[in-house]
Structure 1
């Protein structure tokens, strides 16, 4: 149990982000999380956590907006008293050729997937104590693109993996670990674990199924807990053998 610790998760109202919020709360942390548009979904996550005697706080903030993220971090610290764990999960994905994908969609991916991670960590560092934990949620598409149209998205996630390696060196003297989790195909709101899209994706995997958000959240839980204290600068795939 990590009672007393405070975590901030970006993009925590659905999918992998919501699973991370629920898991860290179950681990005993008080968890603040951001959402961009769907307050109803964010409040549902808060209610789910409360039903298990946990504590969660939802904050509206676009991670691409540096001022909004600074405000979310300040609100977290003022309301919950401290900050121990940061999980930069928020992300957007668009598929298309680099020459056909609208420039504004490429810019949006860079703004959220890369700049948003930087904004989040920059805002958090003044409040993050020695021995803190930072985890980014990347994608195995940073390492492998098995289909056409993934170049721009993969580029943004590869940038995050590079950022993590450098930050691990920068923050190591403070005992702060920085790691990148790269999920493979994972069930979400638009793709059920046993639906046709999931079944089609299994051709890329070593295991005959796609992953679940709860499996990703379990890896995050390990990295931010006491047993993950000697893991830093790592990019860890949780992909059912996608990159095997």
Structure 2
């Protein structure tokens, strides 16, 4: 082999070694980050289960604990005995034989999604963050007013915690709304990445971002802003 070919081969070997090292570090970091308490839930959080992932090794994988109510809320969790990291980014909850009960991949920081065929999507989320979101949702329930930037109220609406579709909940308009709002006619709402999302029956979306805890402004902003205020 020529000197040039030897150099290229050595460089390729070094790159492959670096890639393997980086992959091992990614998996190791993910394993470390996953140790702690997590909420396993349906997408709309109507059924939840607290899972504690531990760093201790067992013959089946890594240790975990399921809270007592898990089996009743999510029957498939009865099969789960351990957890592991597969590849670079898969968090696997597995049975005693090491087979996957459900595999999760991260869809945004601290939130993982997993699919069970015939059942649907499940969410694995840091417990503290999940409970913070639930508290935020609870604080949103009730009567709201939609007002213009000049303070003129143009519509009243009620956000409920009654499940609609997917991650959405029902919203009801009060009588005598401004024609623009009445034409939009939102039927569902949700919180998503710091925004309040109103959705119409036709699938049209209005997005609002919080100025503070009681005031949400429609985005993108306009010269005549639309603001949502609590209970006025």
Superposition TM-score, scaled by structure 1 size:
0.24
Higher Cα Rg: structure 1 or 2?
2
Superposition TM-score, scaled by structure 2 size:
0.25
